[in-house]
Amino acid sequence: MTDTSHPQPSEMTGVLAWIERSGNRLPDPVFIFLYCIAGVVAISVIAALAGVSALHPTQVDAAGNALVVSAESLLSAANVQKLLVEMPATFAGFHPLGYVLVVMLGAGVAERSGLFASAMSSAVSRAPSLLLTPAVAFIGMVGNLAADAAYVVLIPLAGVIFATAGRHPIAGIAAAFAGVSGGFSANILPGQLDALLFGITEAAAETILPTWDANIAGNAYFIIAMTFVFLPVIWYVTDKIIEPRLAPIIPGEAESSTAGIIKGPDTSLTQGEIQGLKGAGMACLGIVALWVFLCVGPGTPLINEDANPEARLNPLYQSLVAGFLILFLAAGWAYGSASGSINNHRDVVRMMSESMSDLSYYLVLAFAAAHFVAMFNWSNLGLIFAIKGAAVLEGSSLPDSILLALIILFGASINLFIGSASAKWALLAPVLVPMLMLLGLSPEMSTAAYRVGDGATNIITPLMPYFPLILVFCQRWQKEFGLGSLAATMLPYSILLLIAGIAITMVWVTLGLPLGPGAPVEFSMQ
């Protein structure tokens, strides 16, 4: 759909216009990483010539003294050889890559079979009118498990359901967008995002503690809490701030509101889809039962009974990536078999293949990110910056809660200019994670703080990949609804979600609550 009625970037004024102009001048994230690599190479040469160094906080040399970490030139013969010889290994060994690919094999079947779409449609359509807003917001946050499906199914569907309930459809779109994108770090279960972020976190943490292993459930308690903190915020903003201020829909202006939407206004499910959802539910229960059996059955494969008490559950945590693969695969297959979207095993293989093709851009981005992270580590610059930065922050005597609040605000600001969550975290994690570890804050806490800031400003940046799509959804109902209108509509959500996110983070770290199973706020080198 083409619509030139909304303000063009050059016609907009104020902060939003500046953000858009600045963001549009940035290159593709792939090239951002390439430019960063060039910058790291130049800095490494200068730092090596200047003899920049720091004392390692945990490692000692042969004499028993603290190991001196010196900056290394990336143009040295050894590092040039490492770059060229180990390029395949560097790419294949990039932690997030394996996590994401494995989870997406299963999620692709669940999405393409129609399971995610039907589950979201059913959940939203059954909500009482009084609870319509929180239902849409909650399904939006949970719908992050479905990745892109939540954007293309739930958000336009929310507009239709609000309209049929006699409410403003753009308010429904805004509530769903706030849930899916603004609260994208909130959920009741870890999912693809957790696998992606913790893969990057693991690579960063290993510069300080090589034995540290990622646990994708490391933010589980925190994201559950965020879900129920963000829910009333989105509910209040939608019903009390946004909807009363929206211009009335002009009769006859709205396009066919069901174009491109999987379910029509009645959102009713077919008998096959209903049976599919029941089958998917039984499959989920079966997989959960299997995992419980593997924890308590003979040999306890997912429990290391010989390890220290705090490490006994590590196999269980590390199995969650495979667990989500099997869960999504089993549920999607069960749904598809009952609904008719899957006729045989070849359909399952096709869906898995298509999910991999959808990751083609991510693979290109991961190639660039993998080499940036690796070369940054080879230069020792990240470790040196982290050690020296930690010393500065320690001398400032800032409470941990204030420090994390500043990191959240920093991440929120960066998010206005770089749309990709993985790209931003791959750039920030090599410094932030080790630095906060040296200050006694766990990698899980660093990850939690980052995702709070990242999520809050997703919904106001035009650089967010789905921002134009949401604009099109709104223009189906109100043709004059422009880019500035959408940004202004979402700004109250962004501000209040950011405030709520900072508040919950400060309370969490002050109370020292665990962020997930086996994931404390504090970190010790011992």
Q: 75-94, pLDDT tens digit by residue?
A: 999 999 999 999 999 999 88
Quote the pLDDT of residue 417: 66
pLDDT on residue 15: 59
pLDDT at position 138 over 50: yes
pLDDT at 238: 95
Surface-to-core class of residue 274, CB atoms within 10 Å of its CB (0-12 exposed, 13-18 middle, 19+ buried): middle
Please give the torsion angle defined by the CA atoms of residues 129, 134, 138 and 139, in that order, rounded to the nearest 10 degrees.
Answer: 20
Please tell me the predicted confidence (pLDDT) of residue 349. Answer: 96
Q: Is 405 helix (H, G, I), strand (E, B) or coil?
A: helix
Considering only CA atoms, which of 67, 105, 153, 97 is closest in space to residue 324? Answer: 105
Q: What is the mean pLDDT of residues 364-380?
A: 88
The contacts of residue 49 (CB under 8 Å, 6+ apart) are 73
What is the Cα–Cα distance from 407 to 338, expressed in whole angstroms? 48
Q: At residue 421, does pLDDT exceed 70?
A: no
* pLDDT over threshold 70, residue 261: no
Q: Average pLDDT, stretch 376-405? A: 84
Tokens of 71: 């900056």
Q: What are phi and psi of 301, to 5 degrees?
A: -55, -30
> Looking at residue 5, what is its pLDDT?
39
The Cα angle at residue 423 between residues 139 and 374, in degrees rounded to 5? 135
**Element at 163 (helix H, strand E):** helix 155-164
Q: What is the pLDDT of residues 502-513, one digit of tens each?
A: 999 999 999 999
- Pick from 171, 160, 182: which is nearest to 133 by CA? 171
Q: How confident is the model at residue 32 (pLDDT cuts 50, 70, 90)?
A: confident
Looking at residue 173, its pLDDT comes to 93
Q: Where is average pLDDT lowest: 215-219, 224-228, 443-447, 499-503?
A: 215-219
What is the CB-side half-sphere exposure of residue 365 using CA atoms within 13 A?
22
Of 38, 481, 18, 447, nearest to 255 by C-alpha is 481
Mean pLDDT value across residues 308-319: 72
Which percentage of the chain shows pLDDT scores above 70?
Answer: 86
Query: 142 or 44: which carries more pLDDT confidence?
Result: 44
- The Cα–Cα gap between 169 and 175 comes to 10
Give pLDDT, residue 266: 45
Q: State residue 366's pLDDT score.
A: 85
pLDDT at 336 over 90: yes
Provide the pLDDT confidence category of residue 262 given band limits of 50, 70 and 90: very low
Q: What is the DSSP letter of 441?
A: B
11-15 contacts, C-beta under 8 A, 24 or more apart: 12/483, 12/484
pLDDT value, residue 264: 42
CA distance 84 to 80: 6
Rounded Cα–Cα distance for residues 9 and 16 (Å): 9
Q: Residue 367, SS3?
A: helix
Contact 261, 156 (CB under 8 A): yes
153-200 pLDDT tens trace: 678 878 878 887 778 999 999 999 999 887 677 888 887 778 888 988
What pLDDT is recorded for position 258?
A: 37
Beta bridge partners of 11: none
- Of the candidate ranges 41-55, 315-329, 453-467, 483-497, the one whose mean pLDDT is the lowest: 453-467
pLDDT given at position 24: 57
The position carrying tokens 């593997």 is 294
> What three-state secondary structure class fits 270?
coil
Two tokens at 4? Answer: 């030139």
